[in-house]
């Protein structure tokens, strides 16, 4: 059971289960970020110049509401728009719930974007947490 908890905790950026992960804030070393981060971490990091938040939802979903100052690249266009994504920044991906952004995460990793992260829970979790939306 502890192994299952540890795996789930590491997937959601919560450390190994035995030792809590240090909090992620605006001063966090981006190289130490887990592959999956929570909305609180994304909110703390999104204003940094070395971080790019990308929403991979469809146009109509994005138009209904999105995170302010997020780059919008629908998942179906991602492979043809890689040139718009700098490799010298940490990339945080989001969608509605975290499923499509996980696919985008895999695609970017396969294309050499090593500092790429998926935001767990997506836009739904962002809204539920009370962060601003447009």
**Distance, first Cα to last Cα, the chain:** 41
DSSP code for 58: -
Residue 62 and residue 2 in contact, taking contact as beta carbons nearer than 8 Å: no
Active site residue 95: yes
Question: Which member of 54, 90, 95, 104 is catalytic?
Answer: 95
Give, for 110, the enclosing helix (H) or strand (E): helix 99-110
**32-69 burial: b if 16+ Cβ within 10 Å, else e:** ebbebbbbbbbbbbbeeeebbbbbbbbeebbeeebbee
Catalytic residues: 95
């Amino acid at each position: 059971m502890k192994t299952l908890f540890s795996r789930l905790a590491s997937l959601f950026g919560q450390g190994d289960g035995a030792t809590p992960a240090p909090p992620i804030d605006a001063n966090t070393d981006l190289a130490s970020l887990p592959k999956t981060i929570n909305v609180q971490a994304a909110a703390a990091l999104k204003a940094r110049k070395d971080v790019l938040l990308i929403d991979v939802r469809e146009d109509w979903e994005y138009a209904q509401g999105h995170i302010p100052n997020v780059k919008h690249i629908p998942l179906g266009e991602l492979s043809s728009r890689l040139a718009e994504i700098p490799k010298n920044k940490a990339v945080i991906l989001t969608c509605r719930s975290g499923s499509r952004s996980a696919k985008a995460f895999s695609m970017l990793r396969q294309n050499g974007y090593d500092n790429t992260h998926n935001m767990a829970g997506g836009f739904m979790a962002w809204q539920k947490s009370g962060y601003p939306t447009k």
